[in-house]
């Protein structure tokens, strides 16, 4: 056991002004890091000695508290590289977002926080490679959809042990509903979230999960939201029931604020009222660009009343947008200018066409890119016309795993393949899952561009080199009980220079 003085070596010796005294350790929500640059990273924590306090305060008084941070070259903090102090304020639920610079590119670091005499757990992070560096490989994991009431977050525990450089989270970090489930993980608060207090308590509950904390502490995360951080299937200024106005605007303000408070985002993503800058680009040397897109804030409302539709003409209307004009040109320009080998698009709802109906009739989901088919064609045509090679889309939302070719014309298997999409399943949403299900059978039969399907829970890890891309679908056999083992259900390969799935080994 280290003495306090030894354990906190390197923190400033002088007591910080207004140094608080805590009855309980306030670091109950763990630590995180995010949005790595070649020379820097965001360090996150939030003070919450009583995380589930019903007023959303986390048990903190209504005053600002100084929080010290340290980042070191070794896990025992013998070589502290940078340190500083941040004011954690009640306005931001005592969240800390320390943006650290001056670090070495492509290097592992360890970080921790101190408030009063209390120390946080230690997190590990990694800076991005230098812009002109060509790392031998980049390994990242991606995940989405963690309904707390549906299952344990065991998959996150395994992701923490997979030694990835980066985790990309594609949305549904929380679920806003009041579902109770049947495994003793009922949502708090008990009802659907609407107010800032509701969302703050919900995040505190999710972030108290030790498996989620382990995954955050093991690698930097890049996060983007989907629908359940606010309301199922919301679109721009309309909620999932197509109701907008002041009530939904206020809900959006509250939900985005709570999302920011609980994620390792940069200040550039701090919400301004109901708006939040989430689309952004991260570079991993000359090997990979991550184009993080936002498919919720700028989209047109779902066509034909949402749901699954046959013969919905509106989905083919070129005036309808998924990304909004500004983001769409930012994306296409960034893809065509990219010096990187792999152009990754971190996306929420799947881009591949998915006919849900056996036989010649086609039925499509209106919330996915199928409901915005003309916008999808415009994007994929843009990718093709600009000669963008090695275009790979990673996606969440659907609670099933699919590897697919992205086609110039999905109804013509002979048409050009423009890129590859890896859809990865949920962490826990949907419960235990299965190897295959009826819908998966229909999908594989009706959609020849789909090359692999599975409906177990888990996540994906991707290993990129200059020559090839490998996605490992990591699955757990159950989530309704803790401690499931993990295995690789399939590895799916793409060859650089050849768009589409090259090989599936399972
Ligand atoms: Fe989901």
For tokens 């929080």, the residue is 67
In the reported structure, the alpha carbon of residue 249 is separated from the centroid of ligand 1 by a whole-number distance in angstroms of 22
Q: How far is the CA of 172 from the centre of ligand 1 (A)?
A: 5
Dist. CA 189 → ligand 1 center (Å): 19
CA geometry: angle at 373 spanning 372 and 379, to 5°? 95
Is residue 356 a contact partner of residue 102, using CB atoms and an 8 Å limit?
no
Surface-to-core class of residue 281, CB atoms within 10 Å of its CB (0-12 exposed, 13-18 middle, 19+ buried): middle
Condensed to tens digits (0 to 9), the pLDDT of residues 455-486 reads: 999 999 999 999 999 999 999 999 999 999 99
**How far, in Å, is the centroid of ligand 1 from the Cα of 413?**
29
Q: How would residue 3 be classed by pLDDT, with cut points 50, 70 and 90? A: very low
The alpha carbon of 67 and the centre of ligand 1 are apart by a number of angstroms equal to: 34
Distance CA 474, CA 459 (A): 5
User: Computed from CA positions of residues 295, 151, 453, 177, in that sequence, does the dihedral angle turn out positive or negative?
Assistant: negative
State residue 52's pLDDT score. 97
Distance from the CA of 240 to the center of ligand 1, in angstroms? 14
Taking the model in full, what pTM does it have? 0.97
Only one residue has tokens 């999905």, namely: 410
pLDDT tens-digit profile of 286-341?
999 999 999 999 999 999 999 999 999 999 999 999 999 999 999 999 999 999 99
- Burial level of 133, CB count in 10 A (0-12/13-18/19+)? middle
Q: How far is the CA of 375 from the centre of ligand 1 (A)?
A: 23
**Cα 460 to averaged position of ligand 1 atoms, centre (Å):** 15
| pLDDT on residue 1 | 36
CA–centroid distance, residue 226 to ligand 1 (Å) = 8
pLDDT score for 294: 98
Distance (Å, whole) CA 198 – CA 111: 30
Q: How far is the CA of 23 from the centre of ligand 1 (A)?
A: 37
φ, ψ at 210 (rounded to 5°): -65, -30
Convert the pLDDT of each residue in 362-376 to its tens digit: 999 999 999 999 999
Give the whole-angstrom CA distance, residue 113 versus residue 264. Answer: 14
Q: How far is the CA of 144 from the centre of ligand 1 (A)?
A: 7
pLDDT score for 8: 58
> 83: CA distance to ligand 1 center in Å?
38
Q: Which 8-state DSSP code applies to residue 238?
A: B
| Confidence at residue 20, expressed as pLDDT on a 0 to 100 scale | 82
Per-residue pLDDT band at 381 (split at 50, 70, 90): very high
State in Å: Cα 428 to ligand 1 middle.
9
What's the CA-to-centroid distance between 26 and ligand 1, angstroms?
A: 30
Q: How far is the CA of 145 from the centre of ligand 1 (A)?
A: 4
Return the percentage of the chain with pLDDT > 90, whole number.
95
- Residue 2 pLDDT greater than 90, yes or no: no
**Residue 4: pLDDT above 50?**
no
Cα 397 to ligand 1 centre (Å): 4
Cα(373) to centroid of ligand 1, in Å?
21
**d(CA 343, ligand 1 centre) in Å:** 25
Q: Return the pLDDT at 21.
A: 86
Q: What percent of the chain has pLDDT over 70?
A: 96
199-224: pLDDT as tens digits: 999 999 999 999 999 999 999 999 99
Continuous H helices in 190-244: 196-207, 210-218
**How many angstroms does the Cα of residue 235 sit away from the middle of ligand 1?**
15
pLDDT at 9: 56
User: φ and ψ at 185, to 5 degrees?
Assistant: -125, 50
> How far away, in angstroms, is 423 Cα from ligand 1 center?
12
Check residues 5 and 446 and name the one with the higher pLDDT: 446
Distance, CA of 445 to chain centre: 30
Ligand 1: centre distance to CA 443 (Å): 19
Distance from Cα 146 to the centre of ligand 1, integer Å? 7
Going from the Cα of 116 to the center of ligand 1, the distance in angstroms, rounded, reads: 39
For ligand 1, the distance from its centroid to the CA atom of residue 131, given in whole angstroms, is 34
In this prediction, residue 431 has a pLDDT band, given cuts at 50, 70 and 90, of very high
- Tens of pLDDT along 271-290? 999 999 999 999 999 999 99
CA of 179 to the centre of ligand 1 (A): 14
Instruction: State in Å: Cα 169 to ligand 1 middle.
Output: 12
Give residue 94 CA to ligand 1 midpoint distance, Å: 28
| Mean residue pLDDT across the chain | 96
Query: What are the tens digits of pLDDT across the range 103-153?
Result: 999 999 999 999 999 999 999 999 999 999 999 999 999 999 999 999 999
Centre of ligand 1 from the C-alpha of residue 455, in Å = 13
**Rounded to the nearest whole angstrom, what is the distance from the C-alpha of residue 178 to the centroid of ligand 1?**
15
CA of 341 to the centre of ligand 1 (A): 30
Which tens digits make up the pLDDT trace of 67-114? 999 999 999 999 999 999 999 999 999 999 999 999 999 999 999 999
How far does the centroid of ligand 1 lie from the alpha carbon of residue 477, in Å?
Answer: 19
387 CA to middle of ligand 1, Å? 33
* Sign of the torsion angle spanned by Cα atoms 130, 100, 275, 258: positive
Q: How confident is the model at residue 7 (pLDDT cuts 50, 70, 90)?
A: low
Query: How far does residue 354's CA lie from ligand 1's centre (Å)?
Result: 17
All residues with CB under 5 Å from ion ligand 1: 145, 172, 429
C-alpha torsion 225→226→232→238, nearest 10: 90
Given a cut of 70, whether residue 11 has pLDDT beyond it is no
């Amino acid at each position: 056991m280290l003495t306090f003085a030894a354990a906190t070596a390197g923190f400033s010796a002088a007591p910080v002004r207004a140094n608080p005294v805590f009855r309980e350790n306030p670091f109950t929500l763990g630590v995180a890091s995010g949005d790595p640059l070649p020379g820097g990273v965001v360090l996150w924590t939030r003070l919450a000695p009583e995380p589930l306090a019903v007023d959303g305060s986390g048990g903190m008084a209504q005053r600002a508290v100084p929080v010290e941070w340290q980042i070191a070259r070794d896990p025992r903090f013998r070589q502290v590289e940078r340190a500083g102090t941040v004011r954690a304020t009640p306005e931001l639920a005592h969240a800390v977002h320390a943006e650290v610079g001056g670090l070495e590119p492509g290097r592992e670091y360890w970080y921790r926080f101190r408030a009063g005499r209390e120390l946080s757990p230690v997190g590990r992070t990694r800076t991005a490679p230098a812009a002109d560096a060509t790392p031998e490989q980049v390994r990242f994991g991606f995940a989405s959809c963690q309904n707390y009431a549906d299952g344990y977050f065991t998959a996150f525990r395994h992701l923490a042990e997979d030694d990835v450089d980066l985790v990309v989270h594609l949305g549904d970090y929380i679920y806003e509903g009041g579902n109770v489930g049947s495994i003793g993980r009922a949502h708090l608060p008990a009802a659907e979230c609407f107010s800032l207090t509701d969302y703050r308590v919900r995040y505190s509950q999710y972030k108290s999960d030790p498996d989620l904390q382990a995954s955050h502490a093991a690698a930097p995360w890049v996060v983007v939201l989907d629908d359940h951080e606010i309301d199922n299937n919301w679109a721009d200024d309309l909620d999932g029931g197509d109701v907008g106005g002041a009530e939904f605007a206020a809900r959006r303000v509250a939900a985005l604020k709570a999302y920011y408070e609980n994620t390792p985002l940069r200040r550039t993503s701090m919400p301004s009222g109901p708006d939040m800058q989430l689309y952004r680009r991260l570079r991993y040397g000359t090997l990979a660009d991550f184009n993080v897109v936002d498919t919720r804030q700028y989209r047109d409302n779902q066509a034909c009343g949402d749901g699954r539709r046959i013969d919905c003409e509106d989905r083919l209307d070129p005036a309808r947008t998924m990304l909004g004009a500004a983001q769409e040109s930012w994306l296409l320009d960034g893809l065509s200018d990219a010096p990187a080998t792999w152009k990754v698009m971190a996306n929420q709802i799947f881009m591949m066409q998915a006919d849900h109906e056996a036989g010649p009739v086609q039925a499509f989901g209106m919330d996915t890119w199928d409901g915005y088919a003309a916008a999808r064609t415009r994007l994929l045509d843009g990718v093709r016309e600009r000669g963008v090679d090695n275009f790979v889309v990673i996606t969440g939302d659907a609670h099933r795993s699919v590897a697919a070719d992205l086609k110039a014309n999905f109804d013509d298997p002979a048409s050009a393949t423009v890129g590859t999409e890896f859809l990865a399943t949920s962490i826990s949403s949907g419960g235990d899952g299965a190897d295959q299900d009826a819908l998966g059978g229909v999908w594989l039969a009706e959609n020849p561009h789909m090359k692999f399907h599975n409906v177990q829970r888990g996540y994906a890890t991707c290993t990129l080199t200059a020559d090839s891309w490998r996605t490992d679908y990591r699955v757990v056999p159950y989530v309704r009980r803790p401690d499931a083992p993990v295995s690789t259900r399939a590895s799916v390969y793409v060859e650089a220079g050849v768009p589409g799935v090259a090989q599936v080994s399972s």
